[in-house]
Structure 1
């Protein structure tokens, strides 16, 4: 491990210095136009579904409708990601009580007790992800990209893992159509993210969006 890796990667400038030049997707104005148009449509749907979700949440598990968390985006730049809340209030403080079933710098538990009854439904249908269309509109995310990592995940990265941060994180991507929550090996996620970067094109983005719709409709791989 290099001297760089022995220090927590909590500086955007430090991370940026380890990444390569901007990926072609970052220069694509058409990709950004598609992101904005998709985000506007997505946000309209988000407003509509927020009403029944808010009612269901008030009945089953009163608390905030939305959940936010700081994530790392392009070149490690931090941003606040938004979701419909699927866990009990204060779930982050209970994380140490739940066993991590994943390998590497990610956290997953098949039967996480912090997930509410409504949250199980929201996750299986991916409805909890809809507020992220706001992140896309703001430019922190893209419709299609890599999985957005948490700060504590990035703090543990080795140098080669930083390549994941060469593109914007996405609402969907390779991991979403190839197992979703069932992918429990961090290196597998890294490989999928790098595969996306190598294969990227607008047509490939469209193909991943189409596959995502099928996977979500069939409720495959989510919990």
Structure 2
């Protein structure tokens, strides 16, 4: 057995075909980037390692970047036919794994504390919130009140919108799509359908006009005539008030990405998942679809996290309403 040796800030111990990495007390973006790099270098330079054990006995905090690093390493280990095992995972970290669904795909050396999803909720005081907005009761109250008001407006407009969608093209009234929320947790996002019923199958026919993992086309042929109006006025997003009331989204937050978009993230980009996604936010009030560079979207999302306050949320909501009434939402 070799002596523990530092690999960056991570100590490793080799025992035959098993390599143990001692994880730091925190696994945020500052630690997640070198952690991923260290693991990649170790796996590439140590072909004898068949079993990689991550010792979490000191770790009490993991944010979305830490989740992203673990997801990347898990994929790499699986591609190479090796095994990834987690050891001594404490309750706060296990809560993060439960929320994101990682507890169902990761292998644990011993039974983690309270793995039942019923006991691991975002509202528990032990949950290591990655951003103060997540635990703000006032923000959540604003979401519930605003969401209920929004659903009331949606109910009034629903008959007209539903009839228009049905008369314009065959298919369902609503469109739902899996999106990634806080820490990468997946949820169903709801919209009024603005595309043809087989839009997902025809995605390969459309050229992407946006740089990076995003997908946008200003003249997307899959969008229906009614859909163009719904998108231009943002009426297609009214059903998302249900997502807000349910708690998957907030009135104000970051843009909710799709799983295939997140699959392409580098570890630092996962930071945008440290808050709940929002119906509006920096991206929506700063050009929305006209923002065509993914790095610009990331910077807008991170700016929201840095400047967040309840008053800042109110300002973004007022800006959104101003844009809506000016009929220049920037959406297509």
* TM-score for both structures, normalised by structure 1: 0.93
Rate the CA distance shift 1:52–1:40 in 2: closer, same or farther, 3 A: same
Distance 1:100-1:6 versus aligned 2 partners, 3 A rule = farther
Q: Which has the higher contact order (CA 8 A, sep 6+)?
A: 1
Contact kept, 8 Å, 1:74 with 1:169, in 2: the verdict is yes
Q: Secondary structure at the match of 2:176?
A: strand
* Structure-2 change in CA distance of 1:6 and 1:132 (3 Å): same
In structure 2, the CA distance between the partners of 1:13 and 1:62, relative to structure 1 (3 Å rule), is closer
Unpaired segments of 5 or more residues in structure 1? 15-19
Check whether the contact 1:74–1:166 (CA below 8 A) recurs between aligned residues: yes
Aligned counterpart, 1:212: 320
Q: Deviations over 1:168-204 (max 9, x none)?
A: 0000000110001111111000000000000000000
Change (3 A) 1:8 1:56: farther
Query: Which of 35, 38, 52 is the aligned partner of 2:143?
Result: 35
Greater strand content: 2
Residue number among 47, 72, 78 corresponding to 2:155 in the alignment: 47
- 1:70 and 2:178 aligned: yes
Q: Deviations over 1:4-32 (max 9, x none)?
A: 447669x8366xxxxx8520101100000
Give the match for residue 17 of structure 1: none
CA displacement, residues 35-72 of structure 1 (integer Å, 9 cap, x when unaligned): 00000000011111111011111211122110000000
Q: Larger radius of gyration, structure 1 or 2?
A: 2
Give the counterpart of 2:244 among 122, 136, 144: 136
Distance 1:169 1:101 in 2: 23
Distance 1:59 1:69 in 2: 23
Q: Deviations over 1:144-185 (max 9, x none)?
A: 000000000000000100000000000000011000111111
Match of 1:222 in 2: 331
Which one of the candidate residues 157, 165, 179 is aligned to 1:57? 165
Segments of 5+ residues of structure 2 without an aligned counterpart are: 1-35, 41-68, 77-96, 103-127
Partner secondary structure for residue 93 of structure 1? coil
Greater shift, 43-52 or 191-200, is seen at: 43-52
